[in-house]
Amino acid sequence: MPYVHTNPQNHSSNRQTLSHIQLIRMWAAVLCLIALLAVGISRWLHGWANPKCENGILPPGSMGFPIIGETIEFFSPYFFYDIPPFIKKRMQRYGPVFRTSLVGRKVIVSTDPEINHEIFQQENKSFLIWYTKTFIEVFGQQSLVAHHGMVHKYLKNLILQLVSPENLKGKLLYEIDKATRKHLNSWASLGTIDVKEGSGEMIFEYFAKKLIGYEEETASNKKLRNNFQAFIDGLISFPLNIPGTVYHACLRGRKNACKVIKDIFEKRKASKFPHNDFLDHLLNEVESQDSYLNEQMAIELVFALLFATYETTSAAITLAIKFISDHPKVLEELTKEHEAILRSRDNENSELTWQEYKSMTFTHMVINETVRLANIVPGIFRKVMKDVEMKGYTIPAGWTVMVVPAAVHLSPGKYENPLEFNPWRWEGKELHVGSKTFMAFGGGIRLCVGADFAKLQMAIFIHYIVTKYRWTVMKGGDIARKPGLTFPNGLHIKISEKQAMPRSF
């Protein structure tokens, strides 16, 4: 075989050329992957920003950033006296119905009274009550808000056995009257009080005892109310569950509160001693073979009832006192109405009667005007079960609709000078039902079951504070939303008992 001479430098050059080719191919593959990824992300972003509707036209709007949508802006605190800026800005840009994205959900927001009414009328048909996953996590998987249909109806009837008009008239009126007088007398002895704190304590003390026989002062280091306060502070907050956040404190407060309630359940079951409270009735229902109720549902029902009465009613009372303080003519008219009730009695120091409560026409006008402006619930959510066409738009199945009571309650088209506190606007109108333009207590079959209780508590409180006491706001009174109603620095009043005036005959 002849000898073939090879140059080592040629081998090295060939290897370098091959390496360069492989490197170019590798970078080409990487660039192709990047391009494909960019195209995929671009298409996904375009799809996110421009959702499709197969069976009609979606309302206009913006979906915000991917995943988080417009959640951060929705949760931003704002000034009390107006439609939420998040809603108002989009109403001006898109009209009364628009789309957005909140906490990962595609949402249609309605500020239209006709559409809102139709949504409530189609409950359990085209629409189903819905809350965010984090909200259900806070309230509980077995809570009232998590159930529909027959189970919801059953739980609602259970609650009505406690707060029905018949029970309010027969039992609760006297008990609330007694508790209110006791606490107002205590306020006067202190001289100054934060109305939100004091009314919250008054309602919680009464209702916790009525529900489960719980008394804070004898609870042996189990401060149930403190846990509820931590729960409330984070209830409507950004759902970031890490230590140090209000949402984390909220979940911890819920866990601790439910532990206290569960311990009371266990102790009551073991004792078999009747206490003649709502818990006795719940225990009987749990043990009944034909009942929907289990122990966890009963615990979460008690938890929800304590929250609803404690927080929402105390907020409404505080706001009412602020409004009455700011409007002397309202105080004058209230005083006239309630002093007339005293003069009509044989003994003016006797307890309120149901007939007297029902006669408080101007008082109920004040209550309606307070809750109209309060808008304690920032939004009412429903899940869309099937495509629904309303006013030329399609609300697609799988989306969520949010009804915004504040947008209706503060609309110049529905109320003259809507930001003004004017109880006389209710003169001659129905004061005890909801409507297309008044949904302070919700609507449809989900109308708040405790509405009558809240109004009774407010009326009794107003009766005694205008007839038996003088008060002056000392500090506080600022109101903000996060988006729930809050009083950052409380409402502190100086309060004293009125001197008894001799009766003239």
Closest CA relative to residue 410, chosen from 78, 108, 168, 156: 78
Distances (CA, A) of 388 to 7, 51, 63, 396: 81, 16, 20, 7
Say which DSSP state 421 is in.
-
Closest CA relative to residue 351, chosen from 96, 207, 169, 132: 169
Place of tokens 């494909």: 36
Check the CA dihedral 487-493-497-503 and report its sign: negative
Between the two ends of the chain, the Cα-to-Cα distance in Å is 146
Check the CA dihedral 230-449-421-471 and report its sign: negative
What is the rounded CA–CA span in Å between residue 371 and residue 366? 9
- Do strands 380-384 and 192-194 pair parallel, antiparallel, or not at all (unpaired)? unpaired
Structure tokens at 339: 């002093």
Residue 53 annotated in ligand binding:
no
β-sheet bridge partners, residue 503: none
Q: Side-chain half-sphere of 71: how many Cα atoms within 13 Å?
A: 16
What are the backbone dihedrals phi and psi of residue 109, each rounded to the nearest 5 degrees, phi first? -100, 130
Q: At what angle do helices 195-212 and 224-235 cross, to 10 degrees?
A: 120
Q: If DSSP codes are grouped into helix, strand and coil, which group holds residue 499?
A: coil
What is the rounded CA–CA span in Å between residue 315 and residue 437? 22
Please give the angle made by the CA atoms of 399, 403 and 408, to the nearest 5 degrees. Answer: 150
Check the CA dihedral 135-139-140-145 and report its sign: negative
By the 8 A CB rule, do 101 and 64 touch? yes
Q: Side-chain half-sphere of 113: how many Cα atoms within 13 Å?
A: 14
By the 8 A CB rule, do 419 and 88 touch? no
What are the backbone dihedrals phi and psi of residue 472, each rounded to the nearest 5 degrees, phi first? -135, 135
Q: If DSSP codes are grouped into helix, strand and coil, which group holds residue 340?
A: helix
Question: What does 88-103 look like in DSSP terms, one character per residue?
Answer: HHHHHHH-SEEEEEET
Q: If DSSP codes are grouped into helix, strand and coil, which group holds residue 40?
A: helix
- Residues in binding site: 448
Q: Please enumerate, by residue number, every residue annotated as part of a binding site for heme.
A: 448
